[in-house]
C-alpha cells in the first residue's frame, strides 16, 4: 500500500508540475502577439511583412472613403486611433463596411506605403440593438461601447 | 450510496424514466421552439447595423453553445462511466456524440451563412473558426472509434479517454476571441457584466437556447434508449417488455 | 397584407442566408429525431423475433 | 530500485531500437514516403519556382506529419499482435515507464531521421537559411509531440480493423495545432518578425504532451485489454 | 513457509459476460500452496476468459479473485509480479532471436538467477537455434521459446493457456516436469488443457467449465 | 462453366463488399483521411485564396492518391493473415478471376466514394466548373488504375513488416504518371487548351492496367507463397 | 474405382531446404486409395514444410510428388481441385459469421451437395453460433469452423496440419470419425499430429520425420 501511495503521489506531482510549466509557457505566449491581423501602428512601426500578403485591421476613418465613379475601386484610411494606413481596394465591399466601423483587409503593402487589398472583411462589434435604440443613444450623444477592434499597443 | 445510484441507474429503471422524460422535454422543446422562432422571426427588431440578417443569431448562437455543452456532457458522462462503471453514463456519452457533431456542423454552417453577408467571406482561418472545425473532427473521430470497437464496454472507456484528451479544445474555442485577435466578434451574452444585446433580442435568443437544451435532452434520451435496448437485448427485462408490447 | 408577407420573406435582402440557416437547422434537427425512431423500430422488431423464437423453443 | 528502473528503461529502449534497425524498412519507409510526398508536389503543381518556394516549408511539414502518422503503426501493433503487450502489462514495472522508453525509441527511429531529411530537402530546394533554421527548431519541438500524442491515440486504436486510417483520422486534428504554430513561426521568421510567441506555444504543447501522454497511453492500453 | 491449509489463490463466485452472452457464473475454487489446478471444458466454455480474469488482464462482471487473502485489484501491480502468464499468443518478437527474446522477458519480470539464459534455452532443447530469428522457427519451436520463460521466472503463480499445443512428446514431458517441480517447491499453477496431466507427488485439482 | 465463373466472381465480389460494409470504418476512414489532408493545406499555407485556387486540384489529386494507397492494405492483408489467400490459391477457379473480383470490390469501396468526395470538396472550395468536370473525368479513368496497380504491388508486399509504408514507396512512383497526366488535363482544360492527348494516355494506362494487373497479381501472390 | 494396389499419391525422394538449412531429404511414401498417412516427428523436423510441398504451395528442392501417376506440377490447377488443405491458419474471415464463411468456401471448392451448410455446421456443434461473427468465437470454435469445410468438400485428398489443436475431446472424436468415413469411401488423408489416431477399419501408414 505504501509503495502504491508513493507511486500515486509521484504521478500527481509529475502531472501538476508539467501542467504548471505548460500554462506558464502558454501565458507567456499570449503576452506576445500571435496575430491574426496587424494594426496600423504595427505597420507604421515596420513590424508588418513587406513582400507578402498579410492582414491589417482597424477602424475606417470618418469621411475618408473615396469611391471611383468609373469602377468599383475604393480608397479609405484605416486607423487604430494612433496611426493610419491608406488602403485601396477593387471589389464589392461587405454590407457592414461603414465609416467609423472596424474592418480587416487582406493584401500587400506597396512600396509607397499604401496597402493594396484583395479582400476586405468587416469586423463588427458585439452590440446588438434595434435601430431606434441606436438613434436614441446617438441623440443622447452616448458613445456605443468600445469597439473591440481597437487595441492600441 | 453508490449502490443506491447504481440501482436508480439500472438500465430497466432508466428506460422507464427516460420514456417519461422524453415526453416532457419533447413537449417543452416544441413549445419553446415555436415561441423562439416566432419571437425571432416576427417580433424581434432588426439590428441597427446588420438589419434583418441578425435573425441568424437565433439559430447560430444556440447551436454554437450546444456544440460546446454537448462535448462537456460527453466527456463528463464518459469519465463518470469510466471511473464508477455506470453503464447508463456510457450510453449517454455515446449517444451525445452524433448530436454534438450535428450542433457543431450547424454552428459552422450557420456561421458561414452569416459571415458571407456580414464579413464578406464564407470562411476565414481565425482561431474561433479553426478550433470549432477541430471540434467537429473530434466528434467524428469519437464516433469512428465507437463504431470500430466491438465490445461496447471497451468502446465506451476508450471513447472517454479520447474525449478527455480533446477537452483541451473547449476552453480554446471559448476564449479564442479574447486571446487572439479574431475576425469573429467577442462575447455578447456570456459577458459577466450586462450583456450588450437589447432585451427584445435577448428574450427570443434565450428562448431558443432553452429550446435547444430541451431538444438535446429528449434526443439524447431517445438515442440512449435505442442503445440500451440493443445492449441489453438478451436480458430479462427487455424480453418482458417486448413480449408485452408484441402481444 | 400581401406586400407585408413578401417583405417578411425577403428579409431585407438576406433571404437566402436567413432561410437557408433556418432550413438547415430544421432538417438536421428533424433528422436527428427520425433516425433514432427508425432505429428503435428496427431493434424492437429484431428483438421481438428473437423473443418469439425463444418461446417456440 | 532507482537503477533498476533505468535498467529496464534502457532494455526496452534497446529492444525497440534493435527491432527497428533489424527491420530496416521501418526506418527507411517513412523517410522514402516523406521524400515522395514532397517530390510529388513539383509534379502536381508544375515547376513555378516562386510558388514552390512559397509553399515548400508548409508542404515539408505536412509530409512530416503524414509520414510520422504512418510510422506510428509500428509503435504498438506488432507488440499487440504477438502478445508482448500483455507481457508488459503483467510486468513488474509501471507501464508508464515502459511506454516512455517506447516513445523515445520511436522518436529516435522516425522523428530524428525525418528532421534530418527535411533539412536535406530544404537545402536541395534552395530554401532560405532562416526557413531552414526555424524548420529545424520547430521540428525539434514538434516531432516529439507527434510521437507522444501518437502513442496515446495509437494505444486506443491498436488491433482495430482499419486501424491505420482510423488512427490518422483521430490524430490529425490533434496535430493541426503543432502544424499551424510551426508554420506561422517559419513564415514570421522569414519576414524577420518575432516568433517567440509561437515558440512558447510549441514548448507548452511539448511539456503538456510529455506530462500527459504516458499516462493516457497506459490507461488506453489497459482499456483495450480490459 | 505458507501454511498448507490457507488458500493462496481463491476465486469467489466469478461471473463472465462477453458481448451480451453470459459465459459462466458462480465459478469458484481455492488453491493452497503447492497445488495445481487443471481447467477443462468444451470449446467456448470460457477457459481463456477465466485465465485472463485470474491474471488481472480482464475484469469479472461479478465476483472476485483473492491472492493471499486480499483482492487482486487492491494492488494489481504487486500481484502481477507473482504471476507468469503464457497465453495462446507466445509473446515473443519474431525479429529477435530466442536469446534476445529471453533477455527482454527477464528484464520485465522478477527473474531468478538460478539459470543462465543459455541454460534455460538448452533445457528446452533450443540451444542449436538460440541465434536464429524466431520468424524462421516452426510453430512448436516458437512455443518452446515462450515456455522457456517459465524457467527463468521467480513468479509463484503460473497461468498457462493450452501450453502443449504444437509441442511434441518430448516437449510435453519437459513442461510437465517443470510444472511438477514448481509445485513441489510450493508454487501454484493454473493450466488449461484437454490432455491428462501426469504430475507425480503433486495435488492436482480439476475444474470443469 | 461460364455461368459458374460468373457465379464465383459474384460470390467473391459480394464477400468483399459485405466485408467492407460490415466494417464500415474501412470505407469511411479513407474518405475522412482524404478530407483532412485536403483541409490541412489551407491551415499550412494560409488563406491566400488565389494560391489555394491554383493548387487545389493538384492537392485533391494527391490526397486521393494517398488515401487510395492507404486503403489498399485492406485488399489482401487480412486474407493473407488468416489463410484465406491460401484457400483461394488452392481453389478450383483461376486466381486471376478471383483477383478481378477483389479489385472491382476495392474500387467500388474506395475509388468511387473518393471521386464523389473530390467533387464535393471541389464545390466547397469554389473550383471553376471545368476543373470539376475534368477532375471527375480524370478520376474515373485514373482511380481504377490505382486499384489495379495497387493490387499488383500489394500482392508483392503483403505480409511484410512495415508493409503499409513499403507499399506506398513502391506504388507512388507507379501512380505518378496517372497524377501528372490527370493534372495536366485539368490545367489545360481550365486554360481552354485541348486535352485529348492526356485523356488518350489515361485511357491507355487504364487498358494496360486491366490487361496486366490480374496476371501480375496472381503471379506475385504465388511467389509470396512459394 | 481405382485399383487398390496402385499408389494414388506418391512422394519420391523429397528434399527440403529452408534458408540455408537442410530440413529433410530422401523422404518418400506411397498412398493407395483409402489409406491415411500420419506424419509425426519432433518440433522443427519439417512436417509443415512437407505438407505445403504436398499441396503444391511450396516447391521441393529435389524429388517430386505424383498424383495418380503424374507429377502434380504437370497440371497444378487440376490437382488442387482434388486437395483440401487445412493448415495452422484457419482460413476464415473474422468479420463474417461461420455460415457466411462456409458459403464463400463452398463457392471456391468442388463441393458435394450431400450436406446443406447448416447441416454441416450442426454436425460440428456450431449451429448455436452460426450467426455470430467469427471474431467473437473462442479458438476451438474457430478451429471447428475451419474443419467443417471437410464436410462440404468433394476433394479426394485431405491434408491436415495439426487439426486437433485447441479442440476438446468431443471435437477430436468428431474429426477422427470424419477422416475414417472419408477413408472408407476411398479417399485419402495426410495428417500431421502428435496424438495417436483411432481410425477403425482404415489402413493407417505412419511417417516419422
Ligand atoms: C463559420 C463561422 C462561425 C463559427 C464557426 C462560429 C462559432 C461560434 C462559437 C463556437 C460560438 C460560441 C462561443 C462560446 O460560447 O464561447 C459563437 C458565438 C457567437 N457567434 Fe459565432 N461563429 C461563426 C460566425 C459568426 C458570425 C458571422 C457572427 C455574426 C456576425 C457570429 C456571432 C456570434 C455571436 C453573437 C455569438 C455569441 C457570443 C456570446 O457568447 O455572447 N458568429 N460562434
Ligand atoms: N521461413 C523460414 N525460413 C527459414 N527456415 C524456416 C522457415 N520456416 C521454418 N523454418 C525451419 O524449417 C524447419 C521445419 O519447419 P516446420 O514448420 O516445417 O516444422 P514442423 O515440423 O511443422 O514443426 P512443428 O511441430 O513445430 O510445427 C524448422 O527447423 C524451422 O526452423
Ligand atoms: N471478443 C469477444 N466478444 C464476444 N464474445 C467472445 C469474445 N471472445 C470470446 N467470446 C465468447 O466467449 C466464450 C468463451 O471464450 P473463450 O475464449 O474463453 O473460450 P475457451 O474456453 O478458451 O474455448 P477454447 O477451448 O475454444 O479455447 C466463447 O463462447 C466465445 O464465443
Ligand atoms: Mg481458449
Ligand atoms: Mg508445424
Q: What is the pLDDT of residue E179?
A: 94
Ligand 1: residue of B51, B57, B60, B67 to mutate (most ligand atoms within 8 A of CB) is B60
Q: What is the pLDDT of residue C1?
A: 61
Handedness of CA D136, D140, D146, D147 (dihedral sign): positive
- pLDDT tens readout for residues B224-243: 999 888 888 777 888 888 77
**Cell match 458462480: residue?**
E26
Cα–Cα nearest to G208, from G48, G51, G42, G40:
G40
Side by side, the strands of the sheet bearing E188-192 are E83-86, E157-161, E188-192, E35-40, E203-208
Q: Which residue has the higher pLDDT, B180 or A104?
A: A104
The answer to whether position C16 is within a domain reads no
Q: Is B184 in the pocket of ligand 1 (CB under 6 A)?
A: yes
* Spans of chain F, pLDDT less than 70: 1-3, 23-26, 43, 46-50, 159-169, 226
Q: What is the pLDDT of residue F128?
A: 80
Mean pLDDT of chain E: 88
Minimum-distance CB partner of E57 among D18, D82, D225:
D225
Q: In chain D, what are the domain boundaries?
A: 2-225
CB-based contact (8 Å) between E147 and chain G?
no
Q: Is the pLDDT of residue D91 over 70?
A: yes
Instruction: State the pLDDT confidence band at D162, using cuts at 50, 70 and 90.
Output: low
Instruction: State the pLDDT confidence band at B215, using cuts at 50, 70 and 90.
Output: very high
Mean pLDDT of E142-171: 91
Return the beta strands (E) in E33-126 as ranges: 35-40, 62-67, 70-71, 83-86
Side by side, the strands of the sheet bearing G21-32 are G21-32, G7-18, G62-67, G70-71
Mean pLDDT of E81-105: 88
Torsions phi, psi of F162, nearest 5?
Answer: 60, 25
d(CA F193, CA F190): 8
Element (H, E) at A102: strand A102-109
Q: CB pairs under 8 A, 24+ apart, for D140-143?
A: D140/D115, D141/D182, D141/D199, D141/D202, D141/D203, D141/D205, D141/D206, D142/D178, D142/D179, D142/D182, D142/D202, D142/D205, D142/D206, D143/D64, D143/D68, D143/D107, D143/D111, D143/D112, D143/D114, D143/D115
Q: Which residue of A has its CA nearest to E78?
A: A4
Inter-helix orientation angle D163-190/D196-225, to 10°: 170
Cβ–Cβ below 8 Å for B181 and A57:
yes
The answer to whether position C15 is within a domain reads no
The answer to whether position C42 is within a domain reads yes
Domain that holds residue B31: 20-228
Q: What is the pLDDT of residue B10?
A: 81
Q: Which residue of B has its CA nearest to E19?
A: B151
Q: Which residues of E113-152 are buried (b: 16+ CB within 10 A; e: fewer)?
A: eebebeebbbebbbeebbebbbeebbbbbbbbbbbbbbbb
Domain that holds residue C46: 23-57
Point out the ligand nearest to the CA of residue G17.
2
Instruction: State the pLDDT confidence band at D163, using cuts at 50, 70 and 90.
Output: low
Q: What is the pLDDT of residue A145?
A: 47
The answer to whether position C31 is within a domain reads yes
> How many angstroms away from the CA of C8 is the closest CA of chain B?
8
CB-based contact (8 Å) between E78 and chain A?
yes
Q: Is the pLDDT of residue B127 over 70?
A: yes
- pLDDT tens readout for residues E158-209: 999 999 998 999 999 999 999 999 999 999 999 999 888 888 888 889 999 8
Cβ–Cβ below 8 Å for C12 and B243:
no
Torsions phi, psi of D121, nearest 5?
Answer: -65, -40
Point out the ligand nearest to the CA of residue B54.
1
Task: Give the CA radius of gyration of chain E.
Answer: 17
C-alpha cell at B30: 416544441
The residue count for chain A: 153
Q: What is the largest CA-CA distance in chain B?
A: 64
Instruction: State the pLDDT confidence band at D12, using cuts at 50, 70 and 90.
Output: confident
Strands A73-79, A54-60: parallel, antiparallel or unpaired by DSSP? antiparallel
- pLDDT tens readout for residues C5-55: 887 777 878 889 999 999 999 999 999 999 999 988 988 888 888 788 777
Q: What is the pLDDT of residue B105?
A: 96
d(CA F178, CA F146): 8
Interface probe for E, chosen from B227, B228, B234, B239 (most Cβ of E below 10 Å), is B234
A130 contacts B200 by C-beta, under 8 angstroms: yes
Q: Is the pLDDT of residue B111 over 80?
A: yes
Mean pLDDT of E65-87: 87
Q: What is the pLDDT of residue A1?
A: 53
Instruction: State the pLDDT confidence band at B172, using cuts at 50, 70 and 90.
Output: confident
Q: Is the pLDDT of residue E133 over 80?
A: yes
Q: What is the pLDDT of residue B104?
A: 97
Three-state DSSP class for G55?
coil
Strands G62-67, G70-71: parallel, antiparallel or unpaired by DSSP? antiparallel
Partners of F47 on chain A (C-beta within 8 Å) are 106
Cα–Cα nearest to F74, from F36, F32, F120, F28:
F28
d(CA G117, CA G104): 11
Three-state DSSP class for B10?
coil
Chains C and D touch (3+ CB pairs under 8 A): no
Mean pLDDT of chain D: 83
The answer to whether position B114 is within a domain reads yes
Number of domains in chain C: 1
CB-based contact (8 Å) between F101 and chain D?
no
Q: In chain A, what are the domain boundaries?
A: 1-34, 37-139
- pLDDT tens readout for residues B35-77: 999 999 988 888 888 888 889 999 999 999 999 999 999 999 9
Q: Is the pLDDT of residue B1 over 80?
A: no
Cα–Cα nearest to G208, from G50, G60, G87:
G50
CB-based contact (8 Å) between E75 and chain A?
yes
Q: Whose CA is nearest to atom 8 of ligand 3?
A: G136
**Cell match 466485408: residue?**
F19
- pLDDT tens readout for residues D212-222: 899 889 888 88
Q: Is the pLDDT of residue D205 over 60?
A: yes
Cβ–Cβ below 8 Å for E42 and G88:
no
- pLDDT tens readout for residues A95-133: 788 888 888 888 888 888 889 888 888 887 778 888 888
Q: Is E137 in the pocket of ligand 2 (CB under 6 A)?
A: yes
Point out the ligand nearest to the CA of residue G139.
3
Q: Which residue of B has its CA nearest to D216?
A: B161
Cβ–Cβ below 8 Å for B99 and C37:
no
The residue count for chain E: 209
Window from A77-91, A108-122, B19-33, D19-33 with minimum mean pLDDT: D19-33
Partners of D168 on chain F (C-beta within 8 Å) are 29, 33, 36, 70
Q: What is the largest CA-CA distance in chain F?
A: 61
Q: Is E23 in the pocket of ligand 3 (CB under 6 A)?
A: yes
d(CA B136, CA F35): 12
Nearest ligand 1 atom to the CA of B129 is 5
Element (H, E) at E119: helix E117-123
Q: Is B60 in the pocket of ligand 1 (CB under 6 A)?
A: yes
CA F201 to chain centroid, in Å, comes to 18
What's domain A37-139's superfamily in CATH?
A: Nucleic acid-binding proteins (2.40.50.140)
Q: What is the pLDDT of residue E3?
A: 47
Partners of A106 on chain F (C-beta within 8 Å) are 47-48
Mean pLDDT of D28-47: 78
Window from D104-118, D155-169, D193-207, E11-25 with minimum mean pLDDT: D155-169
Give the residue ranges of DSSP H helices in chain A: 2-31, 40-44, 131-139
Partners of A3 on chain E (C-beta within 8 Å) are 78
Q: Which residue has the higher pLDDT, B79 or D44?
A: B79
* Mean pLDDT (10-residue bins), chain G, 209 residues: 67 89 90 92 92 88 89 85 88 86 82 77 88 88 92 89 91 92 92 90 88
The answer to whether position B247 is within a domain reads no
Q: What is the pLDDT of residue B193?
A: 67
Interface probe for B, chosen from F20, F22, F27, F28 (most Cβ of B below 10 Å), is F28
Amino acid at each position: 500500500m505504501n509503495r502504491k501511495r508513493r507511486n500515486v503521489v509521484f504521478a500527481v506531482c509529475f502531472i501538476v508540475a508539467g501542467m504548471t510549466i505548460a500554462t506558464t509557457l502558454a501565458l507567456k505566449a499570449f503576452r506576445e502577439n500571435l496575430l491574426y491581423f496587424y494594426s496600423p501602428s504595427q505597420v507604421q512601426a515596420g513590424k508588418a511583412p513587406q513582400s507578402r500578403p498579410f492582414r491589417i485591421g482597424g477602424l475606417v476613418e470618418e469621411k475618408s472613403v473615396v469611391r471611383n465613379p468609373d469602377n468599383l475601386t475604393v480608397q479609405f484610411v484605416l486607423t487604430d486611433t494612433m496611426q493610419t494606413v491608406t488602403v485601396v481596394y477593387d471589389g464589392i465591399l461587405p454590407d457592414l463596411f461603414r465609416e467609423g466601423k472596424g474592418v480587416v483587409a487582406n493584401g500587400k503593402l506597396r512600396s509607397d506605403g499604401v496597402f493594396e487589398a484583395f479582400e476586405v472583411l468587416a469586423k463588427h462589434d458585439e452590440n446588438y440593438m434595434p435601430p431606434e435604440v441606436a438613434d436614441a443613444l446617438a441623440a443622447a450623444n452616448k458613445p456605443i461601447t468600445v469597439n473591440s477592434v481597437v487595441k492600441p499597443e | 450510496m453508490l449502490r443506491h445510484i447504481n440501482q436508480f441507474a439500472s438500465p430497466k429503471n432508466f428506460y422507464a424514466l427516460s420514456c417519461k422524460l422524453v415526453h416532457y422535454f419533447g413537449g417543452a422543446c416544441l413549445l419553446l421552439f415555436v415561441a423562439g422562432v416566432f419571437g425571432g422571426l416576427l417580433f424581434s427588431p432588426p439590428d441597427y447595423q446588420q438589419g434583418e440578417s441578425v435573425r441568424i443569431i437565433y439559430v447560430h448562437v444556440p447551436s454554437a453553445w450546444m456544440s460546446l455543452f454537448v462535448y462537456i456532457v460527453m466527456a463528463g458522462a464518459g469519465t463518470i462511466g469510466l471511473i464508477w462503471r455506470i453503464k447508463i453514463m456510457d450510453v449517454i456519452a455515446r449517444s451525445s456524440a452524433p448530436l454534438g457533431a450535428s450542433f457543431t456542423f450547424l454552428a459552422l454552417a450557420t456561421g458561414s451563412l452569416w459571415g458571407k453577408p456580414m464579413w464578406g467571406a464564407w470562411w476565414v482561418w481565425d482561431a474561433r473558426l479553426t478550433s470549432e472545425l477541430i471540434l467537429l473532427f473530434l466528434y467524428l473521430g469519437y464516433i469512428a472509434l465507437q463504431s470500430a470497437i466491438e465490445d461496447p464496454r471497451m468502446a465506451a472507456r476508450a471513447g472517454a479517454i479520447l474525449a478527455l484528451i480533446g477537452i483541451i479544445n473547449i476552453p480554446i474555442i471559448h476564449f479564442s476571441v479574447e486571446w487572439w485577435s479574431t475576425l469573429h466578434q467577442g462575447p455578447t451574452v456570456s459577458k459577466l457584466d450586462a450583456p450588450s444585446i437589447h432585451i427584445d433580442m435577448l428574450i427570443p435568443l434565450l428562448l431558443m437556447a432553452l429550446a435547444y437544451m430541451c431538444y438535446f435532452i429528449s434526443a439524447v434520451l431517445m438515442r440512449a434508449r435505442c442503445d440500451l435496448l440493443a445492449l441489453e437485448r438478451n436480458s430479462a427485462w427487455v424480453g418482458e417488455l417486448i413480449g408485452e408490447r408484441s402481444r | 397584407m400581401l406586400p407585408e408577407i413578401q417583405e417578411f420573406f425577403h428579409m431585407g435582402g438576406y433571404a437566402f442566408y436567413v432561410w437557408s440557416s433556418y432550413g438547415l437547422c430544421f432538417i438536421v434537427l428533424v433528422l436527428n429525431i427520425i433516425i433514432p425512431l427508425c432505429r428503435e423500430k428496427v431493434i424492437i422488431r429484431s428483438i421481438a423475433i428473437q423473443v418469439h423464437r425463444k418461446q417456440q423453443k | 530500485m532507482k537503477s533498476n528502473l533505468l535498467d529496464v528503461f534502457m532494455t526496452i529502449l534497446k529492444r525497440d531500437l534493435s527491432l527497428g534497425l533489424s527491420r530496416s524498412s521501418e526506418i527507411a519507409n517513412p523517410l522514402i514516403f516523406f521524400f515522395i510526398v514532397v517530390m510529388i508536389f513539383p509534379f502536381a503543381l508544375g515547376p513555378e519556382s516562386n510558388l514552390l518556394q512559397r509553399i515548400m516549408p508548409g508542404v515539408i511539414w505536412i509530409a512530416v506529419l503524414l509520414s510520422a502518422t504512418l510510422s506510428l503503426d509500428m509503435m504498438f501493433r506488432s507488440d499487440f499482435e504477438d502478445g508482448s503487450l500483455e507481457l508488459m502489462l503483467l510486468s513488474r514495472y509501471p507501464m508508464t515507464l515502459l511506454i516512455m522508453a517506447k516513445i523515445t525509441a520511436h522518436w529516435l527511429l522516425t522523428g530524428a531521421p525525418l528532421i534530418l531529411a527535411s533539412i536535406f530537402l530544404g537545402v536541395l530546394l534552395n530554401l532560405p537559411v532562416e526557413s531552414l533554421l526555424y524548420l529545424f527548431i520547430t521540428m525539434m519541438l514538434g516531432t516529439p509531440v507527434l510521437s507522444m500524442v501518437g502513442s496515446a491515440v495509437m494505444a486506443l486504436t491498436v488491433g482495430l480493423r482499419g486501424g491505420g486510417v482510423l488512427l490518422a483520422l483521430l490524430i490529425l486534428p490533434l496535430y493541426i495545432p503543432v502544424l499551424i504554430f510551426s508554420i506561422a513561426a517559419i513564415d514570421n521568421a522569414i519576414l524577420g518578425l518575432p516568433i517567440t510567441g509561437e515558440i512558447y506555444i510549441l514548448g507548452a504543447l511539448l511539456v503538456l504532451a510529455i506530462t500527459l501522454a504516458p499516462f493516457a497511453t497506459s490507461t488506453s492500453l489497459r482499456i483495450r485489454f480490459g | 513457509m505458507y501454511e498448507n491449509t490457507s488458500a493462496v489463490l481463491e476465486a469467489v463466485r466469478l461471473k463472465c459476460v462477453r458481448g451480451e452472452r453470459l459465459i459462466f457464473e458462480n465459478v469458484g475454487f481455492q488453491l493452497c500452496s503447492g497445488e495445481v489446478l487443471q481447467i477443462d471444458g468444451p470449446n467456448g466454455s470460457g477457459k481463456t476468459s477465466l485465465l485472463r480474469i485470474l491474471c488481472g488482464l480482464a475484469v469479472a462482471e461479478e465476483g472476485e479473485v483473492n491472492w493471499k487473502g486480499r483482492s487482486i485489484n487492491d494492488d494489481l501491480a504487486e500481484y502481477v509480479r507473482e504471476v507468469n502468464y503464457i497465453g495462446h499468443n507466445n509473446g515473443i518478437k519474431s525479429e529477435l532471436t530466442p536469446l534476445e527474446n529471453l533477455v527482454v522477458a527477464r528484464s520485465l519480470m522478477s527473474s531468478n538467477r538460478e539459470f543462465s539464459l543459455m541454460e534455460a534455452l538448452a533445457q528446452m532443447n533450443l540451444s542449436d537455434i538460440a541465434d536464429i530469428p524466431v520468424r524462421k522457427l516452426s510453430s512448436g519451436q516458437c512455443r518452446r521459446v515462450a515456455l522457456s520463460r517459465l524457467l527463468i521466472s521467480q513468479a509463484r503463480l503460473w497461468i498457462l493457456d493450452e501450453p502443449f499445443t504444437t509441442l511434441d512428446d518430448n516437449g510435453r514431458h519437459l513442461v510437465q516436469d517443470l510444472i511438477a517441480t514448481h509445485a513441489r517447491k510450493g508454487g501454484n499453477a493454473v493450466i488449461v488443457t484437454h490432455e491428462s496431466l501426469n504430475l507425480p507427488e503433486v495435488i492436482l485439482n480439476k475444474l470443469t467449465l
